[in-house]
């Protein structure tokens, strides 16, 4: 949510930002918000005047009564009663206007970074850097499900029977590899100075509406029937929600946290053949990183965070690249965002394995996350980034470490988490 002061003083900047995001249908929200803000301020001014008048008139009544001017005192009392009735109307109307204003403001997108490339959708995202050259194979790399099934590491058919489309069983060495990568990612981030957390896996609606836009909520979140609870789509939701309506000490910033959680997503829509298997699924596990910092520090942390993910993937021998998200591909709360994409030898292209975002103070305003400073309390900046999400990572892992005989190498950094195992060999 943007600052209302920015909307008042630079409405055309806000409109131009909406145009850059190709969301022209939201342009009327600017005038609607300005009108509601003007109405709210007018009510506040009138209410303050009536309260001041009430105090003055009360004193006047007392003076008139002492002077035995009963008739005049009664006239003033009638004025007090009329003012009280109007004040009651104002006090009833003000919360309604404030709620409508907040609802409109929450639909206006955050101002995007000047470095964000302009584009309508993810097809216009811009590659910035590549890391680690892909290995050239002299054999055809099979589909990832075929690789995993040959290693006796996945059971999709049973999961369809128990849970439906979009679920899976991981078994044997592949299940162990999945856990090993998460444990390695946890220790990797602890080594970077982050504090490890395991958060709640369900959150209330006021947290959901604070951490994401309404469009994202509808497309992602599972609602618990009969409860004011949602299953988290990523641990960022509950991790940021932890600081809702709190005022942090400036000396404690930045807060650098890394969290593990299962994640649950609707994943609406139809997808292509390469997104079957375990590419788009309803349940997965992830290691996340969260930073809450002062405004002047957020861009430096943004650079550090996505580079940590790249460093992790390179350490496992997986080629990757950084892709800057264009304006039309940014969710409404994001100031800027980039994807880390891993190389797929089968598809001979990169695919998304993580996303890093700087939301400036947009989340903090919605959730009331402030910090004390010499100039008074200020809204903090929040950032989040995927360290690793094993289902997609497993695709990149098995494809990039595959041999012609179907065996898969285990890189040295993961061997301590695999009991010293150096490779996974086919069981079929």
The whole-model pTM stands at 0.90
The CATH-assigned architecture of domain 4-105 is: Orthogonal Bundle (1.10)
- Asked if residue 159 has a cis previous peptide bond (ω within 30° of 0), the answer is no
Q: What is the pLDDT of residue 72?
A: 81
**Whether the predicted pLDDT of 74 surpasses 80:** no
Q: What is the pLDDT of residue 270?
A: 43
Q: What is the pLDDT of residue 295?
A: 97
Segment 150-174, tens digit of pLDDT: 999 999 999 999 998 889 999 999 9
- Among the residue ranges 118-132, 258-272, 291-305, 396-410, the one predicted with the least confidence is 258-272
Segment 274-313, tens digit of pLDDT: 456 788 889 999 999 999 999 999 999 999 999 999 999 9
44 DSSP 8-state letter: H
Q: Tokens 């892909």 belong to which residue?
A: 134
The class of domain 122-424 in CATH terms is alpha beta
CATH 1.10.287.40 residue ranges of the chain are 4-105
CATH 3.30.930.10 residue ranges of the chain are 122-424
Residue 393 CA to residue 58 CA, distance in Å, equals 72
Q: Mean of the pLDDT values across residues 56-85?
A: 79
Segment 390-402, tens digit of pLDDT: 889 999 999 999 9
Residue 269 pLDDT level (bands cut at 50, 70, 90): low
List b or e across 209-246, with b for residues whose CB sees 16 or more CB atoms inside 10 angstroms: bbbbbeeebeebbbeeeeeebbbbbbbbbbbbbbbbee
Q: Mean of the pLDDT values across residues 220-231?
A: 92
């Amino acid at each position: 949510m943007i600052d209302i002061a920015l909307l008042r003083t630079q409405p055309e900047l806000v409109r131009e930002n909406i145009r850059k995001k190709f969301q022209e249908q939201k342009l009327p929200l600017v005038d609607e918000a300005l009108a509601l803000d003007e109405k709210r301020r007018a009510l506040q001014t009138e209410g303050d005047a009536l309260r001041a008048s009430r105090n003055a008139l009360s004193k006047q009544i007392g003076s008139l009564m002492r002077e035995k001017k009963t008739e005049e005192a009664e006239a003033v009392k009638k004025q007090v009663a009329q003012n009280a009735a109007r004040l009651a109307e104002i006090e009833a109307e003000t919360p309604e206007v404030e709620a409508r204003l907040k609802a409109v403001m929450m639909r206006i997108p955050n101002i995007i970074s000047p470095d964000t490339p302009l584009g309508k959708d993810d097809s216009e995202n811009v590659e910035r850097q590549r890391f680690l050259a892909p290995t050239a194979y002299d054999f055809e790399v099979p589909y990832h499900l075929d690789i995993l099934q040959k290693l006796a590491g996945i059971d999709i058919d049973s999961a369809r029977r128990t849970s439906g489309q979009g679920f899976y069983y991981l078994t044997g060495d592949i299940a162990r590899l999945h856990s090993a990568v998460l444990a390695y990612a946890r220790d990797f981030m602890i080594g970077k100075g982050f504090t490890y957390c395991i958060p709640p896996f369900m959150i209330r609606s006021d947290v959901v509406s604070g951490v994401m836009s309404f469009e994202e909520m509808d497309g992602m979140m599972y609602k618990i029937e009969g409860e004011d609870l949602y299953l988290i789509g990523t641990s960022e939701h509950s991790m940021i929600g932890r600081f809702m309506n709190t005022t942090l000490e400036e000396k404690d910033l930045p807060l650098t946290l890394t969290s593990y959680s299962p994640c649950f997503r609707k994943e609406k829509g139809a997808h292509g053949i390469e997104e079957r298997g375990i590419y788009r699924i309803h349940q997965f596990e992830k290691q996340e990183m969260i930073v809450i910092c002062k405004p002047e520090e957020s861009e430096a942390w943004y650079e550090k965070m996505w580079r940590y993910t790249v460093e992790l993937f390179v350490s496992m021998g997986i080629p990757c690249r950084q892709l800057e998200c264009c304006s039309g591909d940014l969710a409404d709360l994001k100031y800027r965002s980039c994807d880390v994409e891993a190389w797929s030898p089968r598809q001979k292209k990169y695919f998304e394995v993580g996303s890093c975002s700087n939301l400036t103070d947009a989340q903090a305003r919605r959730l009331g996350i402030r910090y004390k400073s010499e100039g008074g309390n200020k809204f903090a900046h929040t950032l989040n980034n995927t360290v690793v999400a094993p289902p997609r990572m497993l695709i990149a892992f098995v494809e990039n470490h595959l041999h012609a005989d179907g065996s898969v190498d285990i890189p040295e950094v993961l061997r301590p988490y695999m009991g010293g195992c150096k490779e996974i060999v086919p069981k079929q």
